[in-house]
Every structure is written in structure tokens, then in C-alpha cells.
Structure 1
């Protein structure tokens, strides 16, 4: 017969476990919220399980109802206590009890990961994701020491003549156990394990080394590396960058440090200070993933940057035949003395639109794909006069 298991996780807002008086009230609210045939049990210090014979829709409604009851404030001894609650649900049909309990536990873990005060169903995809995440957490420590990290490079070209002017270094983790892992998956795990600094310094060092090798061949290209606001916030970021440049004898203006706009928000003053510090070394700075909303336009005036990187969506014509947003951004770039790079260009039409708007630089599959250093070098050879 159908039914569901709900697993509820409770914590004080400061992460501490609730005391006995609060837990007694929790039990009372759970009993009041459940039906007469539902079984309620405490399965851990701050975990409860509810077994119900309700079908999926009603079981989810029960989870939502219990969540609402449990997040209401608890008044005791003149103080107000609030709890953060995560609820995981798994269907009981056809599974062994321990499997169902494990599945509901995984769903509860997911609910907590996504920011508490949520109800999440178990599904097989969720389990795959969590297992993948655990694999990444197990394998990433030591990946730098084992030589598993790698950079690929995507050329940046001048739109007027399609000559290469620089490259963007893109991180890849070639894990023997997990295959190739991209930054979108790698960086959140590195942040959680406090390995961002180690990974980030490897990238800066390797990028400077590659830049030095290309410079010896007479190519005056720039190299862009991506950093997170958290990496930038490290007090020694500017000094360590200077050390890497000196170690490989790279002219500072050949290095471009990119930070993504959506991530800057809360860290604005630190980011401004660090970017200014980098520019005082002669390093160039870029704001990546610029969204051209009102708030970001205002922020742009405060940020000490040399390059502004925007997506191809800004090149599309505006609604009601209005001019494309890229015209506005290119205009603003001119006024602020900032060069615009349009990234993610995937069609000749987008390349033409970016060029028409007066943007100097572009990158994307329509121009050149990311590739190993050797392949990029071979691609450069087709442009004999690209040493400028």
C-alpha cells in the first residue's frame, strides 16, 4: 500500500540544538499536526520521523503543514526561540524500511543544503547528485599535489580584424576517478572544503608560466584568470600575484584578473580595494558576466576595471525595435575608459552585432574554442603578425 516517510531536522538559528522544553513543544506540535494513524518517533537528537499512509500529494501537504507549525517561534523564560527546519520525504512503496529511511534522510539533507525551512522529495537524480558531491569532496583534497589540475585557453580576438589579442585561462580538473570536472562543479566544492586559495594560486602560477612561454615566442598576448571575491579578499592576494609575475618575468599588464559581477555584491568594498591594488602593480582588471541592470550600471562607476565582459544576449535587438543594450554598454564603456569584450559569441550574426556596436574584443565558439596550450599555439600560427 502507498504511504510516505517524513524525516524532520531541527536546529536553533545559531546552529545549537534546542533544549528539552523546546523539544517538548516540538513533540506537541508534531502530534497536533499529524493524523490519528500517523506514527511519530524521535530518531536522533534533533531528528523526528513521521510515517503516514497518505499518498504523495497529501503527504507533501502534511510536510508543509508540519514545517509551518515548527518554524513558529517558541516562547520560554521570557525569550523567543526560533528553529530552522528541513523536511525530507520518501515514498514507502516497494522499498525495504532501511532504504526508505535512507532516502528520506537524503531528501532532508537536500532540504537543509538548499537553505532550511523547505520540504524536499527524494528522487533517484537527487541521490546521484549527492553521491557525486561526496565523490568530489573525497577526491579534491590533494588534486593539486597529484598534478590533476589543467588549464585550457580560449582566445580573445580583436573584432575588426579577428587577430588574437589574448586568452582566457579556464580550469579543468582531470580526475582519474571522476573524469573531467568543470569549474561550475569544482569551485563550490573547493569553497566548502576551504581549498579555493590553493586551487586559485595554482591557476595564477600556471597562467603566468604559460604567458612567459608565449612571450618568448614574441607574442604579446594578455592572459585572463578568473577569481572569486573570496579569493580576492585574502590579505596577501596582491602581494602573491606580484610574486608570481616576478617569478616568470611577466609584464604585469599582460595579466588580467577577472571577477564575476553577480558575485561582487556584498564584497564590493573589499573587491574595489583589491582591484585597485592589482592595478597599482600594473595588472589589468575585468568585470565578468556584466548584466547591465540599473544597480550594476551604478556599481560600475565605483569599480576600478579596465575590461568589461558581457554576454551575447546584450547584442540582440531590444523590444519594440529599440536599439540593442550593447549600444548603451559600449557607450558607457567609452565614457568610463573601459574596453568591452563580448563573450559567448556563437554565431556570425552575434559577432557582427558586437562589432557594429563598437565593441573592440570578442570571444566564443564562433571565433575559437577553448583548447590546450599546444592547440592554441597552432591556431596562433595561422596569424603570423599576431605579436602586437
Structure 2
């Protein structure tokens, strides 16, 4: 026995789904009450205008394509999703199952708004609203797969917000979050609708673009410029305007067999190279960079065992009191006796050690070796002190203070005989964290030197706020001291400021008699450079006479 007319009417009126019939023109001809419950419009209002007037602009083209495809053929069924405008101005996601019978439509729709919101939360970053790492990577995979069917290239751009940690330290994490949200919004605004902006984690975004040529408005360079444009304006936060820059690493796929993970890795390599150039640069991965990466990976693998194979050693360069030319201390410098490349200076491998985290154990070993050698010299009656370089990775390591304490305790070296050098850029990267560590060092009685002084963007402003004892003028200012009145003025200003603040100045890179003479006239107390001695093994260091009075060129500073 089939359903009666009453049963059908009750089903139609009580169905939890949205039931509808429509004519060829796209006007609803019959709707059940669930439409009013979901969209808020009365059935009369919904039937008074074309259905397409309610469709979200982003879904309109796809909806029209589905309707056209069905009406151009024999009777058929189509399924699709789109958003319709509700009376309160919100958009409701509907999943459609519609049958075209040659004359009109019979349709069933389900409200899937909640499901789509849950999917969005799963696939989008909760802070910025951008695609999350999984979705952005999936979009990159799809873009690469389409290369065989479409022109142009698929491009992965890794975008790094420069010095976000410093922004968090200086302005608070709320400001850092505001920066990330602003960058995400600006990237979406500046890029094409077809491009994907995803938060890749921390301070990084992954931008996926496809169909790009080598030039013009839709070229790779144009996309890079649009990305950099997202950083052109400061970001307003509760603590004021925050200036931002972004570094970009780019990798390009032209064939559909490229693995998305490999492309992202190449973009990361390019990003690292861009960041080595400074803030706000972009680099594109190419064959030259690939060769550099291969060489770097090989060197990194060899460096991992260098300490255990006793290939690392410490050499010392004298620090000289300019007044009488007497050696008063040394700077400890690292050398790597590479099995095939010979002696390597720090510039050839320290960046690798820093990036891979190897600098932490290597740096601890250098400090221990330096303290051990200093203890021997002092036991022999030579009143010297030794300065040791500290990297950004070491300074931020939670065990760093314990490493310093252990080196002092095991060797018996007095704390004031050790001076730890940190570069100005390292300190300014995360000033609050650096200040805490430097304060702890001074409580131990260890001296602190600010190395490469003058290269930072706000040197004098930060100097008075940092707990340091020594300022080392960067060698770039000393190199042109005789020829450049500007460099001479910088050195004189640093000397004047240091004297007023009770700090000692060391001039680095002194190589000529002319530089020596000018520095004497300026009253520079301590100098370092090839004119007075190159870095040499401990047995070749020029030592002051045994049992000499304590060196006074650098005053012991206490908090």
C-alpha cells in the first residue's frame, strides 16, 4: 500500500531537510517550512526573486556551471555545495542534491554550516584565520599536480616575520600576535584570490601560487614584490606602532613530479640564505644554491664529529694596552683542522654550527679550554685575562649560566679574568632575554663585552641599557680610520661615551702604524689586530713578565 497524499504532505511539511522545486528560470515554485527556519526568509520572499540572487559571490560561478551542465543534457542529477544569504546577513552552507527532469528542478538541500565551520577550524590557523600547515601543503600538492595540464609554474614562498621574538620581548606577546594577524590579512589582500596563504608555524607563512610566468604582472618577481608590500607599513598595537620586515625564500616547480615536501625544503634553504643577507631580503632557490647546500650539508656532517676527533683547537690573539704596548689579555678564537681542507677559520663553519645547534657543545668546549689555558698562565705568574665569544644560540640556551659556572669552578679561574663577548646584533635580537643573561653573568663577576659595536641600527640607544663592561669597536670603522672623517668621528664618539659610562673600549682590526697613531691620539686604551700579533697557539702567545702587577687596562666592573 503506497503513501497517501496526506502522508506526502506531512513528510514535506515536517522534513528536517530543505525541499524545493524550481522552474527553468531558476525561480523557486515550492518550498517546505525548513527554509524559513534555516534562512529566516519567508517562503513568499524566497520565491519572489531568482535563486541565484541569494548565492554567495564566490560560489556563483560554480553554481551557474552546475546548473548549465545539467540543463544542457538529458534528465540528470547533480550534487554541489554553496552558500546562501540568510535574512540576518550571515551565510549558510548547503549541500544540494538536485534532479533536472527536462522541464524543472526537484531538489533536496542539507544545512552543513556547522560541519563546514568544524572543517575550517581543523584546516585553518586559529590565530590568523589563514590556512594551516596541512591545508597549505595540500594546496601546494594540488598546484604541482596541475602543472601537467596548465601553463606556468607552481611556486612555494616561505615568508618569515623578521625578529618576531624581539617584538614579543619589547612589546609583549599580544603585539606579536597582532603582527601575525596583520601580516596574514595583508598577504591575503595583496595576493590573487587563487593563491593560498597559510601559517606554517611560529613566525612563518607559506604562500602557494600557481600559473606564474617568469615576468610581468603574473610573474614570480611580481609575487615577491606583493609579499614584501605586506610589510611596508607598521602594525598598530596596544603599545604603539611596530615596524616590521619580512624575509622570503622561493622555490619553483615546473614539472608535476616534484614532491611538495622537497619544494618547501628548497624554499627554506633559500629563506636561510635571504636571512643571512639581513632583514627584508628575498632569495630564489637555484642550481648554485643547490650546490652550496650540498657542500654545506657535507661540512655539517663532518663538523658533528670534529670535537670528538680532536680536530678543533683554540688559538689566541693578544690584546694590547696602547699606552705601553704590553699584552694584558687574549681573545680566544676557534680553528678547525679539517682533514681535507686544512685549517678553517670560524667564518667557514660557525654559521653551520649555529644553525644546527652544534655551537652549544662546541662553545662550551671553547670556554672550558680557554679557562684551562688561562689557569695555566696565571699559575705561571702571568696576569692575563681571556675573552671568549658567545653566540646567539648559546646566550639563549637555558644551561648557559651553568656552563660558565662549571668552567670557572673546574679550572679555578677568577670570574673577573674571563670576558664573554656577545655581538651587538645578538643582543638586540632579543634584548630582554639578553639583559637577563648578562645580568646573571655580572652577578657571577664575569665581564661582558659588546662586540662589533656600531653595526647595529640603534647602538648608542641600547648601550646605556645593557649590563656591559667593554665595547669593541668594529673593525670596519678602524679600517678606514685614516681616510674617513666619518669613521674617525664614530670612534671618537664611542670613546667619549665609554669614558663617561665607565666602560673600556677595544679597537679591533688595527693593522697599520697610521691607525695605531690615531688611536693613541684619541686615547683608546686597548687595541687588537695583526699589527700587534696574529692568532697563535697557546705556546706562541707573547706573555707579560711573570708575577707582573695586575693589568689595569680593563677595570673590573660590578653590578
**Do the two structures share a fold, i.e. TM-score over 0.5?**
yes
Q: Residues 130-157 of structure 1, C-alpha deviation per residue, up to 9 Å, x if partnerless?
A: 2220112211223222222111100000
CA separation in 1, counterparts of 2:301 and 2:328? 39
1:365 aligns with 2:482: no
CA separation in 2, counterparts of 1:172 and 1:120? 32
Aligned equivalent of 1:350: 515
1:275 is displaced (CA, Å) by 1.8
Q: Residues 185-240 of structure 1, C-alpha deviation per residue, up to 9 Å, x if partnerless?
A: 32222233222221111011000000011112210111000002331233332233
1:180 is displaced (CA, Å) by 2.9
Aligned equivalent of 1:146: 309
Name whichever of 144-153 and 173-182 sits farther off: 173-182
CA separation in 2, counterparts of 1:168 and 1:212? 15
CA separation in 2, counterparts of 1:274 and 1:286? 13
Q: Residues 39-79 of structure 1, C-alpha deviation per residue, up to 9 Å, x if partnerless?
A: 7689xxx9999999x9xx75998433566799999xxxxxx
Q: State whether residues 211 and 250 of structure 1, in contact with CA within 8 Å, keep that contact through their aligned partners in structure 2.
A: yes
**Superposed counterparts of 1:1-388, under 5 Å:** 16-18=133-135, 22=139, 26=143, 38=151, 62-65=219-222, 87-88=250-251, 110-114=269-273, 118=282, 120=284, 122-124=286-288, 126-291=289-454, 295-315=458-478, 316=481, 324-376=489-541, 379-380=542-543, 384=545, 387-388=548-549
1:291 is displaced (CA, Å) by 0.3
CA separation in 1, counterparts of 2:141 and 2:335? 51
Name whichever of 145-154 and 294-303 sits farther off: 294-303
Name whichever of 113-122 and 287-296 sits farther off: 113-122
Q: State whether residues 167 and 221 of structure 1, in contact with CA within 8 Å, keep that contact through their aligned partners in structure 2.
A: yes
1:387 is displaced (CA, Å) by 3.2
1:319 is displaced (CA, Å) by 6.5
Sort the Cα spacing of 1:386 and 1:318 in 2 relative to 1 into closer, same or farther, 3 A. Answer: farther
Query: How many residues get paired?
Result: 347
Q: State whether residues 63 and 119 of structure 1, in contact with CA within 8 Å, keep that contact through their aligned partners in structure 2.
A: no
Q: State whether residues 312 and 344 of structure 1, in contact with CA within 8 Å, keep that contact through their aligned partners in structure 2.
A: yes
Q: State whether residues 318 and 325 of structure 1, in contact with CA within 8 Å, keep that contact through their aligned partners in structure 2.
A: no
CA separation in 2, counterparts of 1:360 and 1:20? 57
Q: State whether residues 308 and 338 of structure 1, in contact with CA within 8 Å, keep that contact through their aligned partners in structure 2.
A: yes
CA separation in 1, counterparts of 2:463 and 2:295? 38
Q: State whether residues 106 and 127 of structure 1, in contact with CA within 8 Å, keep that contact through their aligned partners in structure 2.
A: no
SS at match of 2:317: strand
CA separation in 2, counterparts of 1:70 and 1:165? 52
Sort the Cα spacing of 1:163 and 1:114 in 2 relative to 1 into closer, same or farther, 3 A. Answer: same
1:290 is displaced (CA, Å) by 0.4
Q: Structure 2: which 5+ residue stretches go unaligned?
A: 1-124, 156-205, 231-246, 258-262, 276-280, 550-559
Sort the Cα spacing of 1:355 and 1:90 in 2 relative to 1 into closer, same or farther, 3 A. Answer: farther
Compute the TM-score of the two structures, normalised by the length of structure 1.
0.73
Q: Structure 1: which 5+ residue stretches go unaligned?
A: 1-11, 74-83, 92-97, 99-103
Q: Which has the higher contact order (CA 8 A, sep 6+)?
A: 1
Q: State whether residues 285 and 305 of structure 1, in contact with CA within 8 Å, keep that contact through their aligned partners in structure 2.
A: yes
CA separation in 2, counterparts of 1:318 and 1:72? 39
Q: State whether residues 110 and 120 of structure 1, in contact with CA within 8 Å, keep that contact through their aligned partners in structure 2.
A: no
- Whichever of the two has the greater Rg, that structure is 2
Q: State whether residues 322 and 525 of structure 2, in contact with CA within 8 Å, keep that contact through their aligned partners in structure 1.
A: yes
Sort the Cα spacing of 1:107 and 1:332 in 2 relative to 1 into closer, same or farther, 3 A. Answer: same
Name whichever of 230-239 and 317-326 sits farther off: 317-326
Compute the TM-score of the two structures, normalised by the length of structure 2.
0.53
1:253 is displaced (CA, Å) by 1.1
Q: State whether residues 314 and 324 of structure 1, in contact with CA within 8 Å, keep that contact through their aligned partners in structure 2.
A: no
Sort the Cα spacing of 1:64 and 1:339 in 2 relative to 1 into closer, same or farther, 3 A. Answer: same
SS at match of 1:136: helix
SS at match of 2:349: helix
SS at match of 1:365: coil
Q: State whether residues 482 and 514 of structure 2, in contact with CA within 8 Å, keep that contact through their aligned partners in structure 1.
A: no
SS at match of 1:225: strand
SS at match of 1:161: coil
